[in-house]
Structure 1
């Protein structure tokens, strides 16, 4: 999907999130090459290096920019995205605190991450690209954190 170049850093983050989501979705199955501890360690590392900062970029920069410039705000979509952010944070916190959780909880988090990224890429980002003037998208780009994998 062609994305405005100013949003490319967030789309790069999304790509890495989808990789993490797939690993979580496969956790505990024959398709997984990682054990529970390694999956958890990778998830926590991903979250601390990039995931939490990515959510902050969206909540503190991107969504307010959309709300400021959109003629007609898709409020249900914004609420759903913010709700999913809270769900994901809660799930990650639970997995961090309770080392006895099951693969099923990892699978559910993987599914949630996958669906969340798809929702943002397919619905939110196109709305933002339409509503926000290009110069403000470029200004926002300068405020996004840089991904630890790609440098974007």
Structure 2
């Protein structure tokens, strides 16, 4: 899917997020709970938390200047942010996390990224003038994997 280049950093984060989601969805009896726990916490602290802030504090307020955010798609996106944060808190606080917790988190993350890439971002690209998308780009955090 062709993405406006100003949103490349967010889409780039999504690529790494989907890779992690796929690993989590495959959690089975051979998967190390300790490694998955470390991976989720590392992902969240290095990129996930900042990525959500980018969307909630930069992208959606910008979009709201041109279109109403009182849309089911936006509400679903934000609800998923809350749910993902809840899963991360569970991973952090549970001494013996169940592998199903990681699989559920992986499923939710994949669903969330697909919603943003297929629905939310195209809405934003259509509504927000290009020069303002570029200005928003300068406020996005850089991906810890690639620096993008």
TM range, normalised to the smaller chain? Answer: over 0.9
Q: 1:73 to 1:150 in 2, by over 3 A?
A: same
Give the corresponding residue for 1:127: 123
What is the alpha-carbon distance in structure 1 between the residues aligned to residue 146 and residue 134 of structure 2?
Answer: 19
Give the corresponding residue for 1:57: 54
Give the corresponding residue for 1:102: 98
Root-mean-square deviation over aligned CA pairs:
1.2
2:35 equivalent to 1:77: no
1:54-74 C-alpha deviation (Å, 9 max, x unpaired) = 00000000011111112x556
The runs of at least 4 consecutive aligned structure 1 residues that moved more than 3 Å come to none
Name stretches of at least 5 consecutive residues in structure 1 with no aligned partner: none
1:1-152 correspondence to structure 2 within 5 Å:
1-28=1-28, 34-70=31-67, 73=69, 75-152=71-148
State TM-score, norm by structure 1: 0.94
Name stretches of at least 5 consecutive residues in structure 2 with no aligned partner: none
Matched residue count: 148
State TM-score, norm by structure 2: 0.96
